[in-house]
Amino acid sequence: MDGASEQRYLDDCRRGRTVAFRPLVDAYFGQAVRLAGALVGQRDAEDVAQEAFVAAYGAIATHEPGRPFYPWLRGILVNRAKVFIRSRNRSRARVEAAAQRPGNWTVGATTADPRLQDLMHRALAGVEHDDRLLLVLKHVEGYTYDELSVHLGIPRGTVMSRLYRARQRLRAIVQELDPTVIQQQGRADA
Amino acid sequence: MTADQLGPAGTAPTCADARVLLMGFIDGELSADEARRIEDHLAVCPACRGELATYQQLGLAAGSLAKEEPVVNTGLAWERIYDRIARGAGWLLLWVGMTLMAGWGLWVLGAEFLVDPEVPVVMRLGVGTFTLGSLLLLINFLRERIYRRKTERYDEVVR
């Protein structure tokens, strides 16, 4: 979707034309589900993505005209995911069990190994939420350190040290789940 | 971790410092000076070179999630999102309407029915307590809805 069309749809939404929200759902729902899947697990990804879209429509008046939609939606989605995880942390085992189940989505065309992706989902599910958020924003959404610093409200230098800690934990879990995966990945990319 | 924390220019960073900075090195987030000093350290430290390779592989593995393209039914998703949006407006209108009707009903009841001497006392008492009970239930229901909305946003999600 080009920027001009997107802004036109957003303007229409601000005027209360709910149907103008549909092209935005069509354009970004897949991306939102992917991000939600990495944050809360595939099983609940669509629910959380839908929550984020509903919340975004409800707050559409606060979206600054001219700004792209997806980064704004992404901020809402990340906050929804935080609430979602917090609300289910009362029974943490359930969260992790849910996140580790394969879910009900079908992975479409991908240039990566689906088994590796499944392993990484399971590994991420074992990482504390704050670290998972940091890793997902970096590796899935491609945030820069400056963006992470702003989004997480921490100094840029702290981003690097927290990434180190988060990656150490992820590495330990990956090696526990499948000690060969990092080496295999290395050989494949060599 | 900044260039200052690496120690004075010309001194080699320790492995502990270098390993944190490896993150920025891998992500292309170091300044030219920081990157050069890490490269100098890597040139003489096989252990940190091993760490670099491991974290590069881990980064590739984690980055594989960015290539996922979940197959989603956007038509169905839109129906559900639209339903939630429309349902929200519907509930609001419903409650406004019910409040207006209840207010009007109470006014009529108080002004005409309950003070009408021709209506038997038992009937007035019955209608009065029935109305009061209904109001209490309505208020209790609204309070519960508001409380749950504040504390549990995902209660209605079917899993």
- CATH label of the domain that carries residue A130: 1.10.10.10
- Residue B127, classed as helix, strand or coil, is helix
Of A106, A139, A162, which residue sits at a domain end?
A: A106
DSSP codes, A32-45: HHHHHHHHH-HHHH
In chain B, what are the domain boundaries?
Answer: 4-67, 74-151
How many domains are there within chain A?
2
Q: Do A54 and B55 touch (CB under 8 A)?
A: no
Q: Say if residue A120 is in the same domain as residue A150.
A: yes
B10-16: Cβ within 8 A, 24+ apart: B12/B37, B12/B40, B12/B41, B12/B44, B13/B37, B13/B38, B13/B41, B15/B41, B15/B45, B15/B47, B15/B48
Q: How far is CA B127 from the centre of its chain?
A: 45
A43 backbone φψ class: left, alpha, beta (φ>0; ψ -120 to 50): alpha
Mutate to test the interface with A, among B5, B22, B65 (most CBs of A within 10 A): B65
A89 pLDDT band, cuts 50/70/90, is low
Closest approach of B34 to chain A, Cα-based (Å): 13
A13, A53, A55, A76 from A60: Cα distances, Å: 7, 10, 8, 11
Residue A20's domain spans which residues?
1-106
A105: helix, coil or strand? coil
Residue A135's pLDDT is 94
Contact A167, B27 (CB under 8 A): no
Check whether residue A16 and residue A47 sit in a common domain. yes
- Is A157 found in the same domain as A82? no
Kindly report the length of chain A. Answer: 190
Selected from 1.10.10, 1.10.3470, 3.10.350, 1.20.58, the CATH number assigned to the domain covering B4-67 reads 1.10.10
Q: Are both A65 and A143 inside the same structural domain?
A: no
Among B106, B151, B146, B34, smallest CA distance to A145 is for B34
* Chain A residues near residue B84 by CB distance under 8 angstroms: 50, 54
Block mean pLDDT (10 aa), chain B, length 159: 52 82 92 91 92 90 85 89 83 84 81 80 85 85 72 41
Give the SS3 label for residue B31.
coil
What chain B residue is nearest to A123 in terms of C-alpha separation?
Answer: B62
Helix (H) or strand (E) holding A121: helix A114-125
Which CATH number covers residue A57?
1.10.1740.10
Domain end marker among A106, A136, A155: A106
Instruction: Examine the domain organization and report whether A74 and A22 are in the same domain.
Output: yes
Predicted local confidence at residue A13, as pLDDT:
92
Rounded CA separation B114/B135 (Å): 16
Residue-wise pLDDT for A135-187, tens only, equals 999 998 889 999 999 888 899 889 999 999 999 999 999 999 988 877 644 44
Q: Same domain for A40 and A126?
A: no
Indicate the average pLDDT of chain A: 83
**Whole-complex ipTM:** 0.73
Q: Please tell me the predicted confidence (pLDDT) of residue A49.
A: 95
Partner-chain residue, chosen from A83, A157, A186, that has the shortest CB–CB distance to B1: A157
Residue A5 and residue A92 in one domain? yes
**Among A125, A128, A116, A137, residue whose Cα is nearest residue A166:** A128
